[in-house]
Amino acid sequence: MRANWNYPTAVRFGAGRVAELPEALKAVGIVKPLLVTDAGLVNLPVTQDTLKLLRNAGVEVGLFADVKQNPPAANVEAGVAALKAGGHDGVIAFGGGSGLDVGKAIAFMAGQTRPIWDFEDIGDWWTRADAKAILPIVAVPTTAGTGSEVGRASVVTDEATHTKKIIFHPLMQPKLVIADPELTVGMPRFITVGTGFDALAHCIEAYSAAGFHPLADGIAAEGTRLVLENLPRVVADPNDIEARGNMMAAALMGATAFQKGLGAVHSLSHPIGAVYDTHHGMTNGTFLPYVLIANRNAIEARMARLAAYCGLPPSFDAFLNAILALREKLGVPHTLRDLKIPADRRDEIATMAVADPSTGGNPVTLDEKLAGRIFDMAMEGRLA
């Protein structure tokens, strides 16, 4: 038994703790931060209030918000230019996965001389980076899904090839996270549901992945339970802070667990997101049951155990049915058609899925034939 295990960054978790941000910056040695967030969030009270509390505390904070969903590398380049122009010495990565990932990538790329794609998560490419030039990051998530706040990677879209690439460096992991569930209450329902299914997919894929990692398995199982119990609660009452907190914890846990590996849900969802600009988590939610079915032979016993842990009858079918019921209740598109994805690029998507870095974690070998079959099942809503 041999494995490499890494555990996440320091997390200050709790309602209202965003107030500690000025002190958190001091704790990691950031004097003049650049707050990075996305173009939609920047004008909302959640961001404006945070900027206000920083300024009231005397922090000289800059702002960069030219960040799209499924962010392209151009967003990172523009952010690096803004960081240099403002003389900033660290980054507050603020937002959902898009804002967090771009914030992390800006802090990473600020001092590098090579292009961003040289640091794709392939082999030991990360060692090409000048580690000393990476700026410190404080992460403040405003969605409960990606878990990017505790991750060492940033997902950036290569617009030339319409592929999502993972940029990796151990020091891209934020030095400190402020996980304040109050920041998530303003999410539109669609984003609450979509990000919740991202967290769920991370937990289930990590739990299903091949490989010896009982620590990740334990975290993934509890993360799964938290999502199943709390996602319906936050949708029913967006101001339920306890349930929001449980979702935020589940999101951190999913990303902690998926260092074990992801799988075909993410392999397929990445090219769909890169080509059609769909929401990442919602796309995962659509694919999840089809991938469980495709992997059934390899994970049947594990899923029965997970079902039992989640208080369901101890069987694969009980777990699958719980996922299907949750999807239906919360309005997750059941088919790719419902997600407005056409079928005409099926083969291309299958090829891209196989090449995705998540593919290695899938418990059965994902080749083009299987990826195409899952695509067809998801297009037609076929559960067999």
Ligand X SMILES: NC(=O)c1ccc[n+]([C@@H]2O[C@H](COP(=O)([O-])OP(=O)(O)OC[C@H]3O[C@@H](n4cnc5c(N)ncnc54)[C@H](O)[C@@H]3O)[C@@H](O)[C@H]2O)c1
Where do contacts with ligand X occur on this chain (CB under 6 A)?
A: 38, 40-41, 44, 46, 69-70, 95-99, 101, 142-143, 145-146, 148, 151, 153-155, 164, 183-184, 186-187, 191, 194-195, 198, 255, 280-281
Q: How far is the CB of 35 from ligand X (least distance, A)?
A: 14
- Residue whose CB is less far from Fe ion, 148 or 230: 148
Q: How far is the CB of 325 from ligand X (least distance, A)?
A: 23
Within residues 178-207, the interface with Fe ion by CB under 5 A covers: 198
Could you say which of Fe ion, ligand X, none residue 263 binds, taking C-beta under 5 to 8 angstroms by partner kind?
none
- Residue whose CB is less far from ligand X, 44 or 81: 44
Residue 149 interacts with Fe ion (CB under 5 A): yes or no:
no
Q: How far is the CB of 283 from ligand X (least distance, A)?
A: 9
- Residue whose CB is less far from Fe ion, 164 or 169: 164
Could you say which of Fe ion, ligand X, none residue 261 binds, taking C-beta under 5 to 8 angstroms by partner kind?
none
Q: How far is the CB of 301 from ligand X (least distance, A)?
A: 28
Could you say which of ligand X, Fe ion, none residue 155 binds, taking C-beta under 5 to 8 angstroms by partner kind?
ligand X
- Residue whose CB is less far from ligand X, 38 or 217: 38
Could you say which of ligand X, Fe ion, none residue 285 binds, taking C-beta under 5 to 8 angstroms by partner kind?
none
Q: How far is the CB of 166 from Fe ion (least distance, A)?
A: 11
Could you say which of Fe ion, ligand X, none residue 44 binds, taking C-beta under 5 to 8 angstroms by partner kind?
ligand X
Per-residue HEC secondary structure of the chain comes to CCCCCCCCCEEEECCCHHHHHHHHHHHCCCCCEEEECCCCCCCCHHHHHHHHHHHHCCCCCEEECCCCCCCEHHHHHHHHHHHHHHCCCEEEEEECHHHHHHHHHHHHHCCCCCCHHHHECCCCHHHHCCHHHCCCEEEEECCCCCCHHHCCEEEEEECCCCEEEEEECHHHCCCEEEECHHHHCCCCHHHHHHHHHHHHHHHHHHHHCCCCCHHHHHHHHHHHHHHHHHHHHHHHCCCCHHHHHHHHHHHHHHHHHCCCCCCHHHHHHHHHHHHHCCCHHHHHHHHHHHHHHHCHHHHHHHHHHHHHHCCCCCCHHHHHHHHHHHHHHHCCCCCCCCCCCCCCCHHHHHHHHHHCHHHHHCCCCCCHHHHHHHHHHHHHCCCC
Could you say which of Fe ion, ligand X, none residue 153 binds, taking C-beta under 5 to 8 angstroms by partner kind?
ligand X
Q: How far is the CB of 277 from ligand X (least distance, A)?
A: 10
